[in-house]
């Protein structure tokens, strides 16, 4: 059976098997989402999609999700909102997704940045030039550390320094979390602002995130 097969494989193979299973589950969910919206993952009665601004991001954005985020599809996940604005979603560990990401990076390694606070990360405001494509990691801290380690160290890492939970809100609580510990979408909005991107685009993203937050809160309050 599947459990026996997994025990006989390496940790890397087991991780890839979980990723493939999560992605297959996600594809099935898209075809038959039930009471959930397949795009924002909120319950249909609280769906935020209709109220989101409609535009495409000028920069190329790739969201690399850990299989736990894809498999659980929690309403509190904010990264999936970026797909509404034209970001491409990939699931780490799915073979064809990993190959695609490597090709994307290979096409323009100098123009690529990874939004992740590694030891070698540069502040977004201090980047020598505006990146052409941004790789956004989405998952728990330990999962993102592993995804970051998998990506070539030759690709520039960057961090944001003005992110504020009190300004941009949040759907998940962190133990010992401080005001500058924000979720994926909020960090991305901050990144665009610090890169000096079009103010209207940044404002629209902020508006979209705020709208999603209000819909999420409505769903949470209804379930209490």
Q: Quote the mean pLDDT of the chain.
A: 90
Once rounded to an integer, what is the mean pLDDT over residues 20-46? Answer: 97
- pLDDT higher than 60, residue 222: yes
Cα–Cα distance, 66 to 219 (Å, whole number)? 25
Burial (CB < 10 A; 0-12, 13-18, 19+), residue 146, is middle
- CA 145 vs CA 77, 115, 137, 149, 220: distances in Å: 18, 12, 9, 6, 30
Give the CA distances from residue 167 to residues 55, 202, 221, in Å, rounded to whole numbers and listed in that order: 23, 14, 21
Give, as one character, the DSSP assignment of residue 139. S
Q: Per-residue pLDDT for 123 more than 70?
A: yes
d(CA 6, CA 159): 37
pLDDT computed for residue 4 by the predictor: 45
Q: Retrieve residue 221's tokens.
A: 């309050």
**Mean pLDDT, rounded, for 55-60:** 95
pTM given for the model: 0.89
pLDDT tops 90 at residue 1: no
Query: Coil, strand or helix: which one is 61?
Result: strand
Segment 85-114, tens digit of pLDDT: 999 999 999 999 999 999 999 999 999 999
Whether 5 has a pLDDT exceeding 60, the answer reads: no
Confidence band for 223, pLDDT divided at 50, 70 and 90:
low
SS (H, E, C) 63-131: EEECHHHHHHCCCCCCCCHHHHCCCEEEECCCHHHHHHHHHHHHHCCCCEEEECCCCCCEEHHHCCCCC
């Amino acid at each position: 059976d599947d459990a026996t097969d997994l025990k006989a494989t390496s940790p890397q193979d087991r991780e890839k098997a979980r990723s493939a299973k999560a992605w297959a589950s996600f594809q099935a969910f898209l075809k038959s989402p039930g009471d959930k919206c397949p795009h924002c993952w909120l319950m249909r009665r609280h769906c935020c999609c209709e109220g989101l601004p409609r535009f495409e991001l000028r920069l190329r954005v790739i969201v690399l999700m850990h299989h736990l985020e894809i498999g659980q599809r929690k309403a509190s996940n904010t990264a999936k909102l970026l797909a509404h604005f034209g970001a491409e979603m990939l699931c780490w560990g799915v073979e064809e997704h990993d190959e695609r990401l490597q090709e994307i990076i290979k096409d323009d390694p100098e123009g690529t940045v990874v939004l992740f606070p590694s030891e070698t990360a540069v502040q977004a405001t201090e980047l020598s030039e505006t990146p052409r494509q941004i790789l956004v990691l989405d998952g728990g801290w330990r999962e993102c550390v592993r995804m970051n380690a998998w990506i070539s160290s030759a690709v520039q890492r960057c961090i944001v320094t003005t992110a504020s939970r009190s300004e941009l809100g949040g759907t998940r609580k962190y133990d010992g979390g401080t005001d500058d510990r924000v979720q994926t979408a909020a960090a991305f909005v901050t990144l665009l602002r610090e890169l000096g991107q079009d103010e209207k685009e940044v404002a629209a993203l902020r508006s979209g995130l705020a709208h999603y937050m209000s819909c999420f809160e409505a769903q949470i309050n209804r379930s209490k």
